[in-house]
Structure 1
Amino acid sequence: MGEYEPKIEVQFPEVVQVAQGATVKLECFALGNPVPSIIWRRVDGIPFSRKVDMRKASGILEIPYFEQDDAGTYECVAENSKGRNSVQGKLSFYAPPHMIEKPQDMQKAIDDSLVWECMAIGKPKPSYRWMKNGENLEPAEERVQVVNGALSISRLVLSDAGIYQCVAGNKYGEVYSNAELRVIAVAPDFGANLLKSHILVKEGGDVLIDCRPKMSPRGLITWKKGSEALRENSRMTVLESGSLRLSNAMKSDAGLYTCVARNQFGVASSSGMLMVKEATVITTPPSTLDVTVGESIVLPCQVTHDPSLELKFTWFFNEQLIHFGSHGGYFEKVGSHSSGDIMIRNIQMKHAGKYTCAVQTKVDSSSIAMDLIVRGPPGPPTSVHVEELSDSTATLSWKPGPDNHSPIITYTIQARTPFSLGWQAVTTVPEDIGGRRLTATVIELSPWVEYEFRVVAINALGTGEPSKPSKQVRTKDTPPKVTPANVSGGGGSRSELVITWEPVPEELQNGPGFGYVVAFRPFGATGWMQAAVPSAEASKYVFKNESIQPFSKFQVKVGVYNNKGEGPFGPLVTIYSAEEEPARAPTRVRVQSLSASEVEVTWKTLPWSTSRRRVLGYELRYWEKKEKEDMASVLRTVGNRTSAIIQGLKGSSTYYITVRAYNTAGAGPPSAAVNVTTKKPPPSQPPVKVMWNTSNSKIILNWEQVKALENESEVMGYKVLYKQNRHSRPRVMETNTTSVELSLPPDEEYIIQIKPFGEGGEGSSSKQITIPRISGPNAIGSASSVSTLSALSTIALSLTARTSL
């Protein structure tokens, strides 16, 4: 078949009714050669909304959630190179009624009027009808009307009560809304709304006395003062609601007021006493107060008032309530009954502002405001900037902060670096920065260091808070000027020259690329050998050469450099190359056991110093018999000593010991090993059953004898440690018996411990004994007694003892 124009194979109804919220699918199919393209469009030219899905490949147009705006005429257009064709269809929107305003249950008084609104939306527009108690409401009387869905009933009667329904409908459905109407008829009743028994008003003030009885229908309300009918005048008005308004109250207005309500069903009344009180007046005039930081001030608030009324004072600071007892304890009430005075102690700048005193009674209230000016040191300057920067200077600018009511006299500048301890004062040009000056130059700065600056203002009242720091800046770099300190050397291995120094601190390196130049020469030579050490943290340089003789004398100097150039050399220092270790071993090594944990070693010294083999001290190596020598512990002595005590050993154990000399090159050969066996351990059992008693100025102690175990040294005696209180040094008394008598001043508290000792040393201590301060002549106790003991009869014990202090 040849080419031909599109032919649409689908026919649409003239109008399609679509419900609100439904989804519409329109499908268009056309034949043609070439295959035609199919598009959908609205005839009115309105573009499709985003929710519309048009599938060109299948010719389907889908409209979800159909709304009023989607209604209209839609056209399918099929087109190819031979021509085009189209077909149209109309989508019409409809919606069942939906109630948007419903009548509510009502309670109305007889003879009152009712209006119920009822409104619904829908397409087509809904119509309305009303029903009462399930039957259609046909307005037979002129007082019942239905207009645009609204039901109105005037001059209600009891028979109007019932259940009403508003019905809204169109051809797609109906909706209902129910409401109940109650019509009441009651005599006046004040049961729920009695007049206040006491009504207070200030002299010259206004008051409204409410009269709201329950009654239906609404009747007539009148007022009485005392037993007479109240006559209205310019100051007394009965409002439409029945309430009584009284203006510009006078003392003569006081009295008993009665509201009388009546309708066709009855009469009722309610009374209340009106009392006219003297007005509360603040007699303190408004003022502006002036005070200096750190001072205290009383803010006055004096009042005159009706003496029968209680006053309540409240203070506000900048319209914020002051809570006394908080706010750092600055505020304190100091007023009496008719005074609300407060005191502000140790005033700070933050206390400047507006203060309001408010006084209140049951009848009225009054307030007065006063301004408090606080003079003090200046506030912090602002906007601190570094305008110009060199290797040792910085030009700053700033803006002044508040002077706090005292002119700024001078400024100071402080600086901080990563190397300083906090903020430090700096030298400036000019040296004295006047209060009107807002720029200055800081001098004597270190090159290539990061600085922050801040400015502090000073006036006659003191030094203010510092400004915020400036942005961090780095001074420019220059060649270094500071050389390393404590240049020294010596030590190391054979044929080595070791040169050491203290590194130059980073803040003194003056720039990046910092390093050291090490120069050295044999003593007496004229030429220098040099080496660069490119590390700012370096503290040592080692020169190794086989020609260097042990302990040879050298001259050394260390210089500095950075990327900007070389700095100076430090002073000449004389050092020595590495020496040789001692060649001989100590002789006549002897050892003896002192206790279970200590031995003493003696030896004959070597010559103290030779040209190349100095002796700086001796090294003792010791190990248990059951251990290998490479597990030995080491004890070093310094100087030309001939003995040493080794501590911390095990009791009843055999040890081997060697001695060798050492210097910076290392240790020499060891002596022949000697052995020693430590003494048995001291007694492990502490003294028990410790008893004490006092007699006049004496304390008598006795305890049970300690028996040593089989592997422990025998008990040779006991040490009694005693002191007056917990802070004094203890004194010691030794005894070979199990009791002791101490002559001590009375009326003091004592702390006592007892421990046995033997050949192996001191044993375990008894529990600490506290002997309390006792005012009576005699007392007795034991190690388990508490420190508050009653005075008891004494038991005297005699003994012999020897004192060792």
Structure 2
Amino acid sequence: SLVRTFTPFYFLVEPLDVLAVRGASVIMNCSAHCESPPRIEWKKDGTFLNLVSDDRRQLLPDGSLLINSVVHSKHNKPDEGYYQCVATVDSLGTIVSRTAKLTVAGLPRFTSQPEATAVSRGGSAVLGCEVSAELVPLLRWERDRQALAPEPRLLQLPGGALLLTNASDGDAGLYRCALDTGGAPKYSDEAELKVLPDAEEPQSLALLRPPSSLTRLPGQSAAFPCVAQGFPPPHIRWTRNEEELPTDGSGRFQLLPGGVLEIRDVAEADAGTFTCIAQSGNDTLEAQAELAVQVPPTFLKRPVNIYAHESMDIVFECEVTGKPTPTVKWVKNGDMVIPSDYFKIVKEHNLQVLGLVKSDEGFYQCIAENDVGNAQAGAQLIILDLDVAIPTLPPTSLTSATNDHLAPATAGPLPSAPRDVVATLVSTRFIRLTWRPPASDPQGDNLTYSIFYTKEGINRERVENTSRPGETQVMIQNLMPETVYVFRVVAQNRHGPGESSAPLKVATQPEVQLPGPAPNIRAFSGSPTSVTVTWETPLSGNGDIQNYKLYYMEKGQHTEQDVDVGGLSHTVTGLKKFTEYSFRVVAYNKHGPGVSTHDVVVRTLSDVPSAPPQNLTLEVRNSKSILLQWQPPPAGTHSGQITGYKIRYRKVSRKSDVTESVAGTQLSQLIEGLERGTEYSFRVAAMTVNGTGPGTDWVSAETFESDLDESRVPEVPSSLHVRPLVTSIVVSWTPPENQDVVVRGYAIGYGIGSPHAQTIKVDYKQRYYTIENLDPSSHYVITLKAFNNVGEGIPLYESAVTRPHSVPDPSPMMPPVGVQASILSHDTIRITWADNSLPKNQKITDARFYTVRWKTNIPANTKYKTANATTLSYLVTGLKPNTLYEFSVMVTKGRRSSTWSMTAHGTTFELVPTSPPKDVTVVSKEGKPRTIIVNWQPPSEANGKITGYIIYYSTDVNAEIHDWVIEPVVGNRLTHQIQELTLDTPYFFKIQARNSKGMGPMSEAVQFRTPKAESSDKMPNDQASGSAGKGSRPMDLGPDYKPPLGGDNSPHGSPTSPLDSNMLLVIIVSVGVITIVIVVIVAVFCTRRTTSHQKKKRAACKSVNGSHKYKGNSKDVKPPDLWIHHERLELKPIDKSPDPNPIMTDTPIPRNSQDITPVDNSMDSNIHQRRNSYRGHESEDSMSTLAGRRGMRPKMMMPFDSQPPQPVISAHPIHSLDPPHHHFHSGSLASPTRSFLHHQLSPWPLGSAMSHSDRADSS
């Protein structure tokens, strides 16, 4: 039969550890691959979940587990635990994923609260706020209840505390921390941080926050705080395992502000003891912390797929590594493999299966686990029929001597059963079998044999093959004592296996007695490199002791060494000095090794150190003292406890020296009493109880000639010179001119455009330095400062441009394309564009940026404004309303820039006018003292096209605005006449502009007093005949008042004189002739322009807000009989003239009425259909009268419609008088429903003249 192939069956995605918040939803990802779709199930804490009846947990189509609304309380935690994905393919097998831990963030609690703190300006402070480890990612800080903006001076420490460095006055305030775990945040107590003035007096050195031990995984980052305070400001440095750490920022170790050591991308080799050393003046403080690096399990060797036959032994190999050392367990088809006689764990992690049976087929998985993770790797076992040959396999898959019987059978005679199978040697753990060849082949030279054996009563046979053809004996090992085994032998020739021999039962012998442990084991060190171990004879030797084996191991190691010993003691030599070792002894008799003794631990004796101290440095403090600093000898060379350090120093010119000793914990010493201006040499040696080790090399320093001042920082260096090269700059300088201040070194800062990017410190004796690894053709700013223990002095600045490479200039970039301007509001436009130099997905992956520029052409000399963007769009704000702008874009990448793109244009939306009409003036019309002319200029901030004006006038400047009389004016007019005002009366005028967005603010009130007397050429009855219906000041009309029916409007009822009648007749005839001429001219003109004006007239019939159109036929619009219907006449909404350039600016308002009541819904509908329309052209002398001037007149209330009318009125609609600037009151003019305007009226009606053509057009 054919060989079955292995089936690919594995996980595409395995679940990962998850931190969840109570009430949120969580997805545990899982996806498996197989030729047949696998069935996915989930286990929680080793138990299968019943997802069918679970309303919160559900299985997603890809196999992932969705948990809705995580439940978590103090006594009910049903969702927290370990989850495992199980994939099954029927008739094939089952595999399990790695286990993933679901952790639910506990109730937000603060283990420590912030406390009030004071810090000096420029100092550091720590505000405590500790929470549990799983809540740290959810923690944030606030100052004065505002979220803290990220900046380098602020650092959140691993536990949650806030570190603030280089404090300034702006840092003062109330601080608190907040936990965001879903829902409302939980806040800690508030603590006040006070910032004090700069410290001027020395302060003792103290550690505000020492480092604490951390545990990290590879690839994570670690931060050790070491926050110190004192004056002078402390200097912080770090060591790892007593070795100085480079913290210049070039590697993975970086010293952050406040002395925090940050380790990026933690590696396993970073584990060790980190020591923080803080120095301020002569004070030194140290603090230590451990960094433990834990490594999740990883596979060095994974199990491989295996073919096998029944009765064979196989081994699945699995080699893992991790820290802590992982534990390994095996799973078969999802079930745990329990070690037994036939399933054994060998060589720590390998699985050995003995005596295969058909049911052993399936998937085996090696699962490795430690404290920080787990992993799984699997392989498939296929058991073939005996007549199928096993394909080539890796050499480690099968145990030795198991393949010889596996050759495929061919046609031919098979051997008969072997004869006379007997056990020639039986022991406790092995049996030797022998037999005779089969009768069918007495020689048996070409036969091989397979020996099948099993425990009695167990249906699982194992097989052992002979090592060479013709061999008729075999040694079966690794048996159990006092156990009955059943053996049978099968011979095999080139045609295949033959008949089996009869079963043979053999029982192994009982276990023999081995020696017990050797008593009274003792160990002691006789020298720094040797240990002597003694013991006594075991009490239960069970026969003669043949020898002993002594095992020993260095503490902290994992490999034992052994030595054979014939007696009861032994001295082990060649050990390390002052090192702990463990020892144990095992006795051997003729049966083998006995029981081991317990371990005894002893430390070798100490010795003098084998290496000198490290990093000896000298610092000249003044003319008579020098400060020495050093580090202990390297680890492993101490040879004992360091009890002290011996310092030897001498003048360079002499050979005799002076010796001083300091304690073993002291790593610095101030040598005083030296001579001025003298050079001294120093060396340091470490001491133990055994003596002094080797010393360091001699290091020299010269004292100052005089005592220099170190109470202030050094002055500025006297000169600074730079010499640029292609990738470097040579810096040279001279010291400060004032030599009275101590200079301990120089700090060189440099960077492109800023000298603060990099800082290098050099010795005070140095006068030049070469800055390497710079960019060619770059402008660098360089600063030089002298420093001492007080601080850094005044910097000296210089700049230089590095020389260019001899390469051609970079080609320019292509400009952006497709620039578009999208109008968003009256002051905002979004600019978008595309970049052809980017991929098709337009994803920016480099450091390019875009420059957007814009301007308006009004005025013509406007300068461009620019802004930079890193995306393919930019929001331009702060623009002017109703203004046309042009935009273009340029791209820059490194030193390459494109030209400006093609321009895009956009006009911002309109906005209501933000300023009133200006230059408002009021003058009296010449020859007509009761007629005034109002002039004005448009608003300076019109913010759009002005569509109209409203003139308010009143005799009382303090009256409510709805009590003022209004005069609407179209937007293209800047002057307006108002007639028939009262003589010798002060009037106040205001003007308001509007555009398509609404009404603007009103102008300031302008006062004008009409003249005292009328002109002499005006007829006496002019007031009565020409102004009936306009009033200037509200006056009540008596309830009993009735207008006279005659035409005499004289206040005293005097008749008109003949002269006045003749003059009136002449005026009427003249006006009639002129009117006829004008009508003929206008009719001819309009006939020619009918077609071109027709559309404009229809557009002009719309209301200002465009909400409706006026409809109706000409026959429906009849001029009302003002005499008959004046009592019910309504003031209708007024609209712009349909003419594109209207000239009419006066507002005809009927003035005469008896008691008029407000219009309500019960008014007869035909009244609403009768509208007073006024359209067409009118001379500039057309007038609006304010008031009659005779006698007491009853109060007239003119109602406004609540609905828009159909006829077109040649004035602005009432709803246009409803800007957001006004506050309307009941009865006000601009009410959108019913409102009443109060006027003084003459008793005579005055109708508005309107031609037949005008009436037709108004429809």
**Same topology, TM > 0.5:** no
TM-score under structure 1 normalisation? 0.23
Higher normalized contact order (CA 8 Å, seq sep 6+, divided by chain length) = 1
Which structure has greater helix proportion? 2
Which structure has greater strand proportion? 1
